[in-house]
Amino acid sequence: MTKIIFYLFALILVFAASRVITVRNPVHAALFLVLAFFSSAAVWLLLHAEFLAIALVLVYVGAVMVLFLFVVMMLDINIARTREGFTRYLPVGSFVGVLILVEMVLVVGAWKTDESATLSTVTAPNTESLGNLLYTVYLYPFEIAAAILLVAMVAAIALTMRTKRQTKAQRPEQQVRVRREDRVRLVNMPAEPRD
Amino acid sequence: MLDTLYELFELGKILFFILLITVPLLVSVAYLTYAERKVIGYIQVRMGPNRVGPKGLLQPIADAVKLMFKEIIIPTSSDRFLFIIAPVLAIAPALAAWAVVPFSDGVVLADINVGLIYILAMTSIGVYGIILAGWASNSKYAFLGAMRSAAQVVAYEIAMGFTLVGVLMSAGSLNLSEIVLAQQGSLLHWYWLPLFPLFIVYFISAVAETNRAPFDVAEGESEIVAGFHVEYSGMLFAVFFLAEYANMILVSALAALMFLGGWLSPFQGTFLEPLFAFIPGMVWFVLKTGFFLFLFLWFRATFPRYRYDQIMRLGWKVFIPVTLVWIILVGIAVMADIPPWFA
C-alpha cells in the first residue's frame, strides 16, 4: 500500500515539476510548483518526517508561493516573448543543467544510507529529535543562519527604502487624537429674510 | 491477501470517520448562516428570516436549493480551469484541517504530533482559492480584492503563528489533545489567563484571516463591488461562502481548544464538578466554539469596516511586537516553572 502511495505521489511530483518549466503561462507554472511542493511533502510524510513535510507546506506553499503568485500576477508578461531565444540560450542552459546533474550524482552517490538507521531505530517523534539536534549540536550554525537571514532582510529593506520626503506617511496617533472641535466649526448665521 | 483486506477495511473506516466529521460540519455551516441572519436581525431590531418553515428554520435549505439551480456563468476571457478550481481550493483546506481537531478525549481522526502546525499550514493554504479566483476572473474588482486578501492574510498569519508558538511553549506539545490536557485543573488553569494578550491577538487575527467584518476589505461591497467573487454565480459562489463559514467554525474551535480548555468542563475543580459530570466533553467543546462564533456575528453587526492602511498597521506594528514580547515572558515563565500554569 505504501508503495502504491509513494509511486502515485512521485509520479505527480515528476509531472508537476516538468510542467513548471514547460507550461506557457507563468501563473500556471507557479501553481504547478505548488503541486510539486505538495507531492514532495507527501513523500516526506511516507518517510516519517512529519515535521519537515508540514513545514514545507507551511513555509513554501503557505507563504513563499503566495508572494510569488502575488508578483507573477502583477507582471503583465507577454507570453510569446518568453519563447524567443530558445536556441540562443540552449547551450548555456544545458551546460548549467549538466553541471547540476553531475553535482547531484556526486552528492547522492557518495551518501551511503545506513538502512538500519532510517526507520526502525527512530523512536522519538521527528519534531522532538529535530529540536534537540538544532538547539544542542547545531546551535551555532542555526543561529548564524538566522543572523544571515536577518542581515539579508535589513539589506533588502535598506535598498528599497525611500527617504522621508518621497513618502507620504500617515501618523495614526495624530489621526486618532483628532477631536470634533478640530474639524467642525459651528457658525452662527442670521436667518435669511423671507420673501 | 489478508493484509490488503485489512488495509481496505482501515481505509473504509477512515472514510466513514471523514463523513462523520464533514456532514455535521456542513450542516453547521448551513445553520451558521441562519444564525448570522437571525442574530444580526435582532441586533438591528428586525426579525430576520421567518417565512420558510417554522421560525424560518428551513431558510438555509431553501437558499441551497436556489443556488444549486442558478446558472453558473463563466466570463469569456477568464481562465476557465482556474476559475472553476478556485472555490474548490478555498473549501478543501477548511475541511482538511478538521482531521486533527479533538472533539473530546481521544475522539480525533488523526492524533498526530504536529497537529498545531498542520492546522496553521492548512489555514494558510486557504488564501490560494481567493487569489486564484481574483486572477482567473480577469476582472479589475476581483483582482483588487484578491490582492488585498493576500497581503492581509500574509500579515496576520505571522501574528497568528506567534500566538500559537506561545501556546505550544506553555503546553510543551504540538499535539492538540495534549494542549487541551495541559490546561486541566480549573477554569483559571485554561490558557486564556496566562496567555491573555496572545488570546486576544489570536482571535482578532483569526477574524482577519477569515476575511470577516471588520476586516472584510477583500469583499468591500462599497468600494470594489464584492471583491474576489464578483464574477461568480450559482453553486461556485455558494462554495466560497461554505469555505468562509467553515473557516469561521474552524478558527473558533481552535480558539476553544487552545485557550478555553477544549472539552474540559468549566466546573472542574469546584464543588459543582460532580453535578455536571454527566455532560459529555463534546458538549462543552461545542458550546465554547459557539461562543466564539457568536462573537464573529456580533463583530459584524457592530463594527464598521477597517481602513486598509490601518489593518496593515495593526497587523505589523501592533500585534507582532505584542506577541514577541509575550513569547519572551512565557519563555521566562516556563523556565521558572511558575505555578499553576507552567509547573
Judged by a CB distance cut-off of 8 A, whether residue B92 touches chain A is: no
Mutate to test the interface with B, among A34, A54, A70, A176 (most CBs of B within 10 A): A54
Quote the pLDDT of residue B249: 92
Segment 309-338 of chain B within 8 Å of chain A by CB: 309-310, 313
Instruction: Calculate what percentage of chain B has a pLDDT beyond 90.
Output: 9
Q: How far is A15 from chain B (nearest CA, A)?
A: 18
φ/ψ of A136, rounded to 5, equals -120, -70
N- to C-terminal Cα separation, chain B: 51
Which residues from chain B sit within 8 angstroms of residue A127, using beta carbons?
113-114, 174
Q: Using one digit for the tens of pLDDT, what is the confidence trace for B133-183?
A: 888 888 888 888 888 887 888 888 888 888 988 888 888 888 888 888 888
Q: Which of B112, B131, B310 sits opposite A66 (nearest CB)?
A: B131
* Long-range pairs of B77-80 with CB within 8 A, sequence gap ≥ 24: B77/B138, B78/B136, B78/B137, B78/B138, B78/B231, B79/A25, B79/A27, B79/B135, B79/B136, B79/B138
Which residues from chain A sit within 8 angstroms of residue B309, using beta carbons?
170
DSSP B223-281: HHTTGGGTT--HHHHHHHHHHHHHHHHHHHHHHHHHHS-TT--TTTTSTTTTTTTTS-H
Quote the pLDDT of residue A96: 93
Please give the mean pLDDT across all residues of chain A: 81
Q: Amino acid identity, residue B319?
A: F
User: Cβ–Cβ of A61/B118 closer than 8 Å?
Assistant: no
Separation between Cα atoms, residue A23 and residue B19, nearest integer Å = 37
pLDDT category of residue B343 using cuts at 50, 70 and 90: low
Q: How far is A56 from chain B (nearest CA, A)?
A: 9
User: Cβ–Cβ of A62/B135 closer than 8 Å?
Assistant: no
Quote the pLDDT of residue B244: 87
Q: Using one digit for the tens of pLDDT, what is the confidence trace for A30-79?
A: 889 999 998 999 888 888 778 888 888 888 888 788 888 888 877 766 66
φ/ψ of B289, rounded to 5, equals -60, -40
Q: Using one digit for the tens of pLDDT, what is the confidence trace for A6-22?
A: 889 999 999 999 988 88
Could you tell me where the DSSP H helices lie in chain B? Answer: 2-43, 59-68, 80-96, 115-125, 127-136, 140-171, 176-181, 196-209, 221-224, 234-259, 281-302, 308-313, 320-336
Contact B249, B25 (CB under 8 A): yes
Q: Amino acid identity, residue B37?
A: R
Q: Using one digit for the tens of pLDDT, what is the confidence trace for B241-256?
A: 888 899 899 999 999 9
Judged by a CB distance cut-off of 8 A, whether residue B173 touches chain A is: no
Which residues from chain B sit within 8 angstroms of residue A171, using beta carbons?
none
Quote the pLDDT of residue B68: 87
User: Cβ–Cβ of A62/B121 closer than 8 Å?
Assistant: yes
Mutate to test the interface with A, among B113, B123, B153 (most CBs of A within 10 A): B113
Please give the mean pLDDT across all residues of chain B: 85
Closest CA to A15 of A40, A38, A32, A3: A32
Query: ipTM of the assembly?
Result: 0.80
Judged by a CB distance cut-off of 8 A, whether residue B82 touches chain A is: yes
Radius of gyration of chain B measured on its C-alpha atoms = 21
Judged by a CB distance cut-off of 8 A, whether residue B120 touches chain A is: yes
Q: Using one digit for the tens of pLDDT, what is the confidence trace for A120-144?
A: 445 566 777 888 888 888 899 999 9
Q: Which three cell numbers stand for residue A176?
A: 486618532
